[in-house]
């Protein structure tokens, strides 16, 4: 990725929380893989953002970042078509975060919905920290430093992009660059997220222990499907069921062909098929998505250095782009690194 282009710039990130699951794929990653063909894409692993909540034990930060990257590569993000990098390897994000923190009113941050929610819900960690409050300022820096036009995110992140727009506006109001406004206002692109249940029927989530991982080998996927809950009304094989009330039915809707879906609908409602058979078809559909990922992953799993090198090359490219923006920012704020002699008559 060296050619500058007139394509719109896309930027998005994921916190480095380790191996990804199918929910991460259908909610976000699948969309990114498509976007890399149409946009100038920057995707990064937000390891500093992971530290805002996981600061006490940092032993897995690096391993988690590599796990995320392996899943990205497995899912089809291609280093030839997008820039993949790691946040902490582009220190300019921290500099911009600091400068933006100067102009961000506390009230804006205290009002962010995720802040209030997470502080109330996560009781096992002390989130009464400066860093956690500043989470969306760091995210704003991530976005603005690349002058992103489009930020694909899930619903929970839209408020953060909105705050980014407000911070950009405030910055542009205070300071202006040589060529006018420094920051364009980014648009969020809401990623449509189909309802993807985990094996227990609740939303798929790593913390619920109900997830199907992108790295699960075929036998594991099939085993997990076997234990998946079904329509509770279908107790005996002879009881008719309803795929609209069954988590396995939800999987079929996302992954199965129209033909299979028709068989499921007919067979379930008439008790013509058993749940075991139906789950087998769902597993077939999942394996069809996951197997090509396993193949792509293999190349890197055998040699994680290769993956790390991709991250390094991407980070280097990101540092260039971020560095150019920071020059403009410092200029606009009159704190440029160049020494300029004071103006006025020389004696």
Q: Where does this chain bind ligand SF4 (CB under 6 A)?
A: 230-231, 234, 241, 243, 246, 248-249, 264, 268, 273, 275, 278-279
Of ligand TRP, ligand SF4, none, which one does residue 21 interact with (CB within 5 to 8 Å by kind)?
none
Of ligand TRP, ligand SF4, none, which one does residue 246 interact with (CB within 5 to 8 Å by kind)?
ligand SF4
Strand partners, 43: 12, 84
Q: Which is closer to ligand TRP, CB of 153 or CB of 221?
A: 153
Q: Is 150 helix (H, G, I), strand (E, B) or coil?
A: strand
Of ligand SF4, ligand TRP, none, which one does residue 186 interact with (CB within 5 to 8 Å by kind)?
none
Determine how many CB atoms are found less than 10 A away from the CB of residue 88.
20
Per the CB < 8 A criterion, the answer to whether 136 and 171 are in contact is no
Q: Which is closer to ligand TRP, CB of 12 or CB of 199?
A: 12
Please, what is the minimum distance in Å from the beta carbon of residue 61 to ligand TRP?
15
Q: Which is closer to ligand SF4, CB of 153 or CB of 278?
A: 278
Q: Which is closer to ligand SF4, CB of 76 or CB of 201?
A: 201
The count of C-alpha atoms lying within 13 angstroms of the C-alpha of 340, restricted to the half-sphere facing its C-beta, is: 8
Please, what is the minimum distance in Å from the beta carbon of residue 335 to ligand TRP?
25
Of ligand SF4, ligand TRP, none, which one does residue 230 interact with (CB within 5 to 8 Å by kind)?
ligand SF4
Please, what is the minimum distance in Å from the beta carbon of residue 231 to ligand SF4?
4
Please, what is the minimum distance in Å from the beta carbon of residue 160 to ligand TRP?
6
Helix axes 158-174, 92-103, angle to 10 degrees: 70
Of ligand TRP, ligand SF4, none, which one does residue 40 interact with (CB within 5 to 8 Å by kind)?
none
* Length of the chain, in residues: 347
Which residues, in sequence order, are CB contacts of 235 under 8 Å at separation 6+? Answer: none
Q: Residue 31 burial (CB < 10 Å; 0-12/13-18/19+)?
A: middle
Q: Which is closer to ligand SF4, CB of 126 or CB of 239?
A: 239
DSSP string, 24-49: HIIIIIHHHHHHTTTSEEEEEEEHHH
Of ligand TRP, ligand SF4, none, which one does residue 144 interact with (CB within 5 to 8 Å by kind)?
none
Please, what is the minimum distance in Å from the beta carbon of residue 54 to ligand TRP?
13
Quote helix, strand, coil % in the chain, to nearest 5: 55, 10, 35
Residue 239: closest CA among 272, 207, 217, 261: 272
Residue 109 main-chain phi, psi, to 5 deg: -75, -40
Please, what is the minimum distance in Å from the beta carbon of residue 244 to ligand SF4?
9
Joined tokens for residue 210: 């109900």
Of ligand SF4, ligand TRP, none, which one does residue 153 interact with (CB within 5 to 8 Å by kind)?
ligand TRP
Q: Residue 186 burial (CB < 10 Å; 0-12/13-18/19+)?
A: buried
DSSP 341: P
DSSP string, 258-288: HHHHHHHHHHHHTT-S-HHHHHHHHHHHHHH
Q: Which is closer to ligand TRP, CB of 71 or CB of 142?
A: 142
Q: Which is closer to ligand TRP, CB of 129 or CB of 242?
A: 129
Residues binding ligand TRP (CB under 6 A): 11-15, 46, 49, 139, 142-143, 151, 153, 157
Q: Which is closer to ligand TRP, CB of 135 or CB of 281?
A: 135
Of ligand SF4, ligand TRP, none, which one does residue 89 interact with (CB within 5 to 8 Å by kind)?
none
């Amino acid at each position: 990725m060296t050619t500058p282009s007139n394509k719109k710039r896309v930027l998005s990130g994921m916190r480095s929380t380790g191996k990804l699951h199918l929910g991460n794929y259908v909610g976000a990653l699948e969309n990114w893989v498509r976007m890399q063909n149409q946009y100038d894409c920057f995707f990064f692993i937000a390891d500093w953002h992971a530290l805002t909540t996981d600061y006490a034990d940092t032993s897995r930060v690096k391993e988690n970042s590599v796990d995320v990257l392996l899943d990205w590569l497995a899912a089809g993000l291609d280093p030839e078509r997008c820039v993949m990098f790691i946040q902490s390897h582009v220190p300019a994000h921290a500099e911009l975060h600091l400068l933006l923190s100067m102009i961000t009113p506390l009230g804006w941050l205290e009002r962010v919905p995720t802040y209030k929610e997470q502080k109330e819900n996560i009781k096992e960690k002390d989130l009464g920290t400066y860093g956690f409050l500043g989470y969306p300022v760091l995210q704003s820096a991530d976005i603005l430093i690349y002058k992103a036009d489009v930020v694909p995110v899930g619903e929970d992140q839209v408020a953060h992009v909105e705050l980014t727009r407000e911070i950009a506006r405030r910055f542009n109001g205070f300071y202006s660059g040589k060529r006018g406004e420094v920051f364009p206002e980014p648009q969020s692109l809401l990623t449509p997220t189909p309802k993807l249940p985990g094996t227990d029927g609740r939303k798929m989530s790593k913390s619920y222990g109900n997830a199907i991982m992108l790295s699960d080998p075929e036998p594991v996927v099939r085993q997990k499907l076997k234990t998946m809950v079904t329509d509770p009304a279908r107790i005996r094989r002879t009881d008719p069921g309803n795929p609209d009330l069954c988590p396995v039915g939800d999987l079929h809707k996302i992954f199965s062909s129209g033909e299979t879906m028709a068989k499921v609908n007919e067979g379930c409602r008439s008790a013509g098929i058993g749940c075991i058979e139906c789950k087998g078809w769902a597993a077939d559909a999942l394996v069809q998505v996951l197997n090509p990922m396993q193949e792509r992953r293999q190349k890197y799993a055998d040699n994680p250095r290769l993956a790390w090198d991709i991250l390094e090359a991407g980070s280097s490219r990101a540092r260039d782009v971020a560095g150019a923006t920071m020059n403009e920012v410092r200029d606009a704020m009159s704190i440029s690194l160049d020494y300029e002699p004071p103006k006025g008559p020389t004696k």
